[in-house]
Structure 1
Amino acid sequence: MLKVTNLSKCYGKIPVLDKLNITFPDSGVTVIVGANGSGKTSFLNIVAGLLDSDGGELSIDNIESGTETFKKMIFYIPSDFYLPEFMTGEEYGDFVLSRYINGNGKEFRMLLKILGIWEDRQVLIAGYSFGMKKKLQIAVGIASGAKYLLADEALSGLDFETVLLVEEIFSAISCRRQIVVVSHDTNTLLRFPTSIWIMKKGIMSRFHGGARELTESLTHEEGIHAKIAQIREHFNYS
Structure 2
Amino acid sequence: MMTSVDGLEARGITKRYGRNTVVDSVSFVVRAGSVTGLLGPNGAGKSTCLHMLTGVVTPDDGTVTVGGITATEPRAKLLLGFAPDDLPLPEALTGREYLAFHDRMRGRSDLDRGLQIMDSLDVLDAVEQQILEYSHGMKRKVQLAAALMHSPELLILDEPFRGLDPDATAVVGHLVESMARSGRSVLMATHDLARAESMCDSVVILDRGSVAGQGAPSELVDRHGRGESLETAFLVMTGREADADRKKQLIADSLERTI
Q: With structure 1 as the length reference, what TM-score do the two structures score? A: 0.89
- Given that 2:30 and 2:185 are in contact with CA atoms closer than 8 Å, whether structure 1 keeps it comes out as yes
1:38 equivalent to 2:44? Answer: yes
Q: What is residue 3 of structure 2 aligned with on the other side?
A: none
TM-align CA RMSD? 2.3
User: Which structure ranks higher in relative contact order (CA pairs < 8 Å, sequence separation ≥ 6)?
Assistant: 1
Q: 1:122 to 1:102 in 2, by over 3 A?
A: same
1:217 equivalent to 2:233? Answer: yes
Q: What is residue 185 of structure 2 aligned with on the other side?
A: 178
C-alpha deviation, 1:101, in angstroms: 6.7
Q: 1:71 to 1:163 in 2, by over 3 A?
A: same
Deviations 1:178-198 (A, max 9, x none): 111111124422431421221
Q: What is residue 232 of structure 1 aligned with on the other side?
A: 252
- Aligned residue identity for 1:201: R
- Aligned residue identity for 2:235: T
Q: With structure 2 as the length reference, what TM-score do the two structures score? A: 0.82
- Percent identity between the aligned chains? 23
C-alpha deviation, 1:31, in angstroms: 1.1
1:124 equivalent to 2:136? Answer: no
Within 1, Cα distance between the matches of 2:101 and 2:68? 28
- Aligned residue identity for 1:214: L
Within 1, Cα distance between the matches of 2:109 and 2:23? 32
Deviations 1:50-109 (A, max 9, x none): 223221111224322321112222222111222222221112112213444776333222
SS of alignment partner, residue 174 of structure 1:
helix
SS of alignment partner, residue 72 of structure 1:
helix
Deviations 1:107-156 (A, max 9, x none): 22221111111111111212212111110111121222222111111211
Specify every segment of 5 or more residues in structure 1 that has no aligned partner in the other structure, as ranges: none
Which is helix-richer, 1 or 2?
2
Within 2, Cα distance between the matches of 1:5 and 1:153? 23
Q: What is residue 188 of structure 1 aligned with on the other side?
A: 195
- Given that 2:96 and 2:128 are in contact with CA atoms closer than 8 Å, whether structure 1 keeps it comes out as yes
Equivalent positions of 1:47-86 (< 5 A) are: 47-86=53-92
- Given that 2:197 and 2:230 are in contact with CA atoms closer than 8 Å, whether structure 1 keeps it comes out as no
Moved more, 171-180 or 91-100: 91-100
Q: 1:72 to 1:130 in 2, by over 3 A?
A: same
Within 2, Cα distance between the matches of 1:20 and 1:190? 21
Within 2, Cα distance between the matches of 1:51 and 1:89? 27
Moved more, 106-115 or 210-219: 210-219
Specify every segment of 5 or more residues in structure 2 that has no aligned partner in the other structure, as ranges: 1-5
Aligned length: 237
Q: What is residue 135 of structure 1 aligned with on the other side?
A: 141
Q: 1:193 to 1:47 in 2, by over 3 A?
A: closer
